[in-house]
Amino acid sequence: MRLLFIGDVLGKPGRDVLTAELPRLKDALKLDFIVINGENLAGGFGITRSVANEMFALGVDCITTGNHWLDQREILSFINDEDRILRPCNLPPGTPGKGANLYQAKNGAHVLVINPLGRVFMEPQDDPFAAVERELNACPLGEGADAIIVDMHAEATSEKMAMGHFCDGRASMVVGSHSHVPTADAQILPGGTAFQTDAGACADYDSVIGMEKFEPLQRFTKKMSTGRFSPATGPATLCGVFVETGAKGLATRIEPVRVGGRLKRALPEL
């Protein structure tokens, strides 16, 4: 299968670069399944029904989230009926929505997506490793699922790498999100799981992790908040990770994807 995971789509610039580039990528890479991290879709903070629909109309199959999943409270009005949107899987029992789900791709294959949230330098959460273990055991690769995609939404690179190795041989791909900067460590781990510490954001990179520079600089240099964060409005770079799977759903190829905006272009050739 050909899978594309796209990192945190940040506000309108992020949505615009997906609108411009995703239909072309879908054809050029012959994609079977597309996941985006959507925790910053609505003005940089959370998800609304209308921005989620915009993404589904582009062919996105699943939207994962992270620590910003609940920034727009309206998500509570639809997350229980919208299987295509995941919230983190290691939240307290009874939290609305799902943290993992099994999808049917266009080619008929079954794709399990799991969305753990890290605990290092973040709010306290339930153990993401135990939560992922439960999901992998409930629907193993090659049995219940033809492909498994894990979006490890975390601050610490160490915790994201640890999740990669934890899932090695048991997932098709483990990709980090939340850093909003792509890492240069795309690899297939020894057991056959494709891994990249962070996919990067779909955002204007003339910014501080996608936000207009002025306010973050104020806060760093003067320890003073003078306003709110808002997405930088220049052309965004779409950042993602392309993975091809072979026998048993393990990875045979991983390639970074970067198109549009300021970052150096990277586009796999088929």
**Is 153 tagged catalytic?**
no
In the complex, minimum distance from the CB of residue 59 to Fe ion, in angstroms, rounded to a whole number: 22
Closest CB to Fe ion among residues 7, 256: 7
Using the rule CB under 5 A, give the single segment among 2-10, 76-84, 192-200, 231-239 that binds Fe ion: 2-10
Residue choice 8, 135, 146, 244 for contact with Fe ion (CB under 5 A): 8
In the complex, minimum distance from the CB of residue 42 to Fe ion, in angstroms, rounded to a whole number: 12
Closest CB to Fe ion among residues 155, 244: 155
In the complex, minimum distance from the CB of residue 176 to Fe ion, in angstroms, rounded to a whole number: 10
Q: What is the CA radius of gyration of the chain?
A: 17
Closest CB to Fe ion among residues 115, 245: 115
Q: Is 178 a binder of Fe ion (CB under 5 A)? A: yes
Give the span between the Cα atoms of 248 and 107, in whole angstroms. 16
Report how many residues bind Fe ion under the rule CB under 5 A.
6
Residue 244: left if φ>0, alpha if ψ -120 to 50, beta else—which one? beta
In the complex, minimum distance from the CB of residue 57 to Fe ion, in angstroms, rounded to a whole number: 22
Dihedral sign (CA 127, 164, 56, 180): positive
Q: Is 67 a binder of Fe ion (CB under 5 A)? A: yes
Closest CB to Fe ion among residues 128, 192: 128
Q: Is 40 a binder of Fe ion (CB under 5 A)? A: yes
Of residues 19, 61, 22, 15, the one with CA closest to residue 41: 15
Q: Is 15 a binder of Fe ion (CB under 5 A)? A: no
Residue choice 13, 14, 66, 260 for contact with Fe ion (CB under 5 A): 66
Using the rule CB under 5 A, give the single segment among 6-14, 77-85, 134-142, 260-268 that binds Fe ion: 6-14
* Burial class, 79, CB count within 10 angstroms (exposed 0-12 / middle 13-18 / buried 19+): buried
Catalytic residues: 68
Residues that bind Fe ion (CB under 5 A): 8, 39-40, 66-67, 178
